[in-house]
Amino acid sequence: MRWVSLAIAATGLCAVLAVWLAPPPVPGVTEGNFDKVTGGMTLEEVSALLGSEGREVKTAREPELPVYGEVIWVWSNLEAWIWIGFSQGRVVSKRFFVNML
């Protein structure tokens, strides 16, 4: 019985160490980071996840844009584009595009 308790404690300790020692997420325009963006996040939270290279592209509703919101921001690199729509300072829409060039 004592061995079972020790095994459980050792497993828990290993799990805690694995989480604690794991490297922090790397900011950037990736599909993995896009998947982490959720409704209700702030611009600061999204920028920390995607990197500071984002830029505001509109503040008025235009039907041809791929997302909706009061304010639209876009992040991009050579491989992909991420469009995020914000209303009242929170994420309300998002789209991920792979660069086809």
What CATH number corresponds to the domain at position 65?
Answer: 3.30.1450.10
Does residue 8 lie within any of the structural domains? Answer: no
Residues of the chain with pLDDT under 50: 17
Give pLDDT, residue 53.
78
> Which tokens belong to 47?
């920028």
Task: Give the C-alpha separation, 46 to 37, whole Å.
Answer: 7
Predicted local confidence at residue 73, as pLDDT:
94
What pTM did the predictor assign?
Answer: 0.71
Q: Is residue 17 part of a domain?
A: no
Strand ranges inside the chain, DSSP E: 55-58, 71-76, 80-87, 90-98
Residue 57 lies in a domain: yes
What range does the domain containing 39 cover? 25-98
* pLDDT value of residue 65: 79
Domains: count for the chain: 1
- The sheet that has 80-87: what strands, in order across it? 55-58, 71-76, 80-87, 90-98
Specify the pLDDT at position 91.
97
pLDDT for residue 6? 59
